[in-house]
Structure 1
Amino acid sequence: MTKKKTLGIDSKNPSENHVILELIQYNDKDYGMQADIPVDELLTQFKSDHVNWINVDGLHDKSIVSKLGEHFCLHSLLVEDILSEHTPKAEEFDDHLFFTMKMLYSIKNGKIDYEQISFVLGKDFLLSFQEKEGDLFGPLRDRIKHSSGRVRTRKADYLLYRLIDVIVDNYYSVLDAVGQQIETVEDDIYKNPTDKEFQKIQKIKKELIYLRKALYPLRDALSKLTKDESGFIDQANYRYFADVYDHVVHLIDSLDTYKDLTSSLMDIHINTQNTRMNEVMKVLTVISTIFMPLTFIAGVYGMNFDNLPELHTRYGYPAVMIFMALIVFGMIRYFKYKKWF
């Protein structure tokens, strides 16, 4: 049985283990935000007539997650899923809906920078749990603050959609970066294929494998949300989750295309290397073939026999050299006629 990887950084530096709690509360008329407040104080600020978004940055202090779990009556297995690395999934409980996925940022040094993010959706609240500080939701927070768009007029399920949509939109940026890497490697292969290009292709294949593991389960999880019958998702918002589902399907299609391109790049690299080797072998073969008759002539006249009339003639040496030159010239003309080089 594979042991689950526990999330969070165990650092000797207390500042790196600091957990930031953020509470955003809003409805169509009111807005409030509190950041970096103790969990006990945060729970007393809960407003039932508002959408309450509690965002947790950092999973180092398990006691904070446990307190939130006790307050919102979260199942122990759900809390364990929040604190452990998981493939994307959606799971329904009696009083809430659990959703987890990977939040991708960028590609650095051939590796995808990512973190796991988990959501717990209730009737009038949304909990989000992130591994580390910083996310992609800055513009969405501003829209909520300034009442831009329809998010302030909708419930918590619409907020969940907007957060998932922001994450999925950034998948396009990451996938585009992979596509640019593929184009760069392809150009390098045609110019001067080396082992470095082979290593780059291997790195890209690893990135695509990770994206595949993130996208395929996400598609299934979103499909489950679009068919939700528990009442956590308003029927009016089904189309929004279906739209995100369509985006993920499109991403998977692009991913499969890039996977095929990567396989083609591998074949192109191998074929190009073989072609270059064949060209080298062709040149060496032509040179060896040209020197075969010359070596034979040199060997004949290099024998230590007295009865070789050409050795004692005045023009024997220049005649042999001219004859050898004619052989070289004739063979080169013949090879060119045959288009062997």
Structure 2
Amino acid sequence: MTVRTIVYEDDTVEIREGWDADSLQSARVAAGTTWTRVSAPTESELDQVSVAFDLHSLEIEDVRGNASPKVEVFPDHTFVLVKSAHLRGGETTFEEEIRDQPVGLFFGHDWIVTVATEETGAVGTVWDRIRREEPRLLGRDADFTAYRILDAIVDEYFAILDEIGRDIEAVEDRIIDEPDTETLEILNSLRRELLSIRRIVWPTRDAMGVLSRGDADHVQEATEKYYRDVYDHLVQHVELVETYRDLASGARDIYLNTLSQSTNEVMKRLTVVATIILPLTFVVGVYGMNFGGGPFNMPELEWRFGYPAVLLGMALTAGVMLQYFRSEGWL
């Protein structure tokens, strides 16, 4: 659990101590821009932050409840809920799975609060840039800092989609070489990953659309173009997700067709074997009726070369049938 506050202006950066409501309110009204970063907070810490910045309880509940990405505009601030995502090893499969966590951004004209259920790399990156006194950040208001955080989170989606794209290319090659059940499991895992990232990217794109159009009063006109850039990135993400979903579905169809073709080849060979054995079984059945002592007895039974002659005839029959099947392309 961590609550950290930083106040920055054009040429100064000040770290503020204390996470109680009075300390946070003092930082909020300080000269410059105030950023309070909340990671893995307790109930008490969230209550103090809510009181200090006049945050609605339903906003906090959306972050804690892992709601879908959204934007809500209030008179004194704008609330943005997005999801930070990354790939990590799955608990139930050998493939990687997409894990996401909600990140809530609350910002007015000169203050911003970020709330995350655990430490987030994208938020930490922007925080460190401010602490290193990056001029481009220090000279801007809270809406620009919010943009930098959102841009860093959206950039994480690129890495995930690149990894999924490489996995799809690999599984397409594997389908031709090794169309086994493990390949199908990998395909299903990729489809689940794409569904997970789709549930994140689509609503995030809609949320960025609200900010990029100037619907939020706390986003300055000069900053809207930066939000439009994030929106354009999300449009690319959506297109990539849909493209990869089509590729994954196509790869699955190829796998099923390859498996069906393999099954057909096996059945064709078994049919040829059964067809060859059929006349041989007939011959064996006929000569298995060893009736004797009557006028209709088979004279071959008394022939010295009867047995080898029958075997030779059966071999010739099988050979002729095999040659015929090969000439027809069935073998």
Regarding TM over 0.5, the answer is yes
Is 1:28 matched with 2:10?
yes
Q: Which residue of 1 aligns with 2:188?
A: 202
Which segments of 5 or more consecutive residues in structure 1 lack a partner in the other structure? 1-18
Superposed CA offset, 1:266-293 (max 9, x none): 2122212211111111110010011111
Is 1:167 matched with 2:158?
no
Residues 21 and 39, structure 1, Cα contact 8 Å, conserved in 2: no
CA RMSD of aligned residues (A): 1.9
Q: Please state how far the C-alpha of 1:103 moved relative to its aligned partner.
A: 0.5
Residues 22 and 34, structure 1, Cα contact 8 Å, conserved in 2: yes
Is 1:317 matched with 2:299?
no
- For 2:287, the aligned partner's letter is Y
* Structure 2 Cα separation of the partners of residues 207 and 229 of structure 1: 32
Alignment of 1:56-95 (within 5 A): 56-59=38-41, 61-95=42-76
Is 1:50 matched with 2:50?
no
Residues 120 and 127, structure 1, Cα contact 8 Å, conserved in 2: yes
- For 1:317, the aligned partner's letter is Y
Q: Please state how far the C-alpha of 1:38 moved relative to its aligned partner.
A: 3.3
4+ long deviations beyond 4 Å: none
Alignment of 1:174-189 (within 5 A): 174-189=160-175
* Structure 2 Cα separation of the partners of residues 241 and 134 of structure 1: 21
* Structure 1 Cα separation of the partners of residues 134 and 60 of structure 2: 33
Moved more, 114-123 or 195-204: 195-204
* Local SS of the residue matching 1:150: helix
Q: Please state how far the C-alpha of 1:42 moved relative to its aligned partner.
A: 4.5
* Structure 2 Cα separation of the partners of residues 264 and 230 of structure 1: 41
* Structure 1 Cα separation of the partners of residues 122 and 71 of structure 2: 21
Q: Which residue of 1 aligns with 2:144?
A: 158
**Among 12, 27, 39, which residue is 2:20 paired with?**
39
Moved more, 115-124 or 82-91: 82-91
* Structure 2 Cα separation of the partners of residues 20 and 94 of structure 1: 28
Q: Which residue of 2 aligns with 1:297?
A: 283
Residues 209 and 231, structure 2, Cα contact 8 Å, conserved in 1: yes
**Among 224, 246, 250, which residue is 1:238 paired with?**
224
* Structure 1 Cα separation of the partners of residues 245 and 262 of structure 2: 26
Kindly tell me: are residues 317 and 149 of structure 1, through their superposed partners in 2, closer, same or farther at Cα, counting changes over 3 Å? farther
Q: Please state how far the C-alpha of 1:46 moved relative to its aligned partner.
A: 4.1
Percent identical: 36
* Structure 1 Cα separation of the partners of residues 192 and 47 of structure 2: 35
* Structure 1 Cα separation of the partners of residues 16 and 167 of structure 2: 41
Residues 24 and 33, structure 1, Cα contact 8 Å, conserved in 2: yes
* Structure 2 Cα separation of the partners of residues 38 and 88 of structure 1: 27
Figure out how many residues of one structure are paired with residues of the other and give that number. 321
Superposed CA offset, 1:87-125 (max 9, x none): 101110000000001100223224212210000011111
* Structure 2 Cα separation of the partners of residues 229 and 202 of structure 1: 40
* Structure 2 Cα separation of the partners of residues 134 and 228 of structure 1: 27
- For 1:72, the aligned partner's letter is F
**Among 298, 314, 320, which residue is 1:330 paired with?**
320
Q: Please state how far the C-alpha of 1:58 moved relative to its aligned partner.
A: 0.8
Given the two structures, how large is their TM-score scaled by the length of structure 2?
Answer: 0.90
**Among 95, 105, 115, which residue is 2:86 paired with?**
105
Moved more, 105-114 or 137-146: 137-146
Residues 63 and 116, structure 2, Cα contact 8 Å, conserved in 1: no
Moved more, 139-148 or 169-178: 139-148
Q: Which residue of 2 aligns with 1:15?
A: none
Kindly tell me: are residues 134 and 165 of structure 1, through their superposed partners in 2, closer, same or farther at Cα, counting changes over 3 Å? closer
* Local SS of the residue matching 1:340: coil
Is 1:114 matched with 2:100?
yes
Given the two structures, how large is their TM-score scaled by the length of structure 1?
Answer: 0.88
- For 1:187, the aligned partner's letter is D
Which segments of 5 or more consecutive residues in structure 2 lack a partner in the other structure? 91-95
- For 2:156, the aligned partner's letter is N
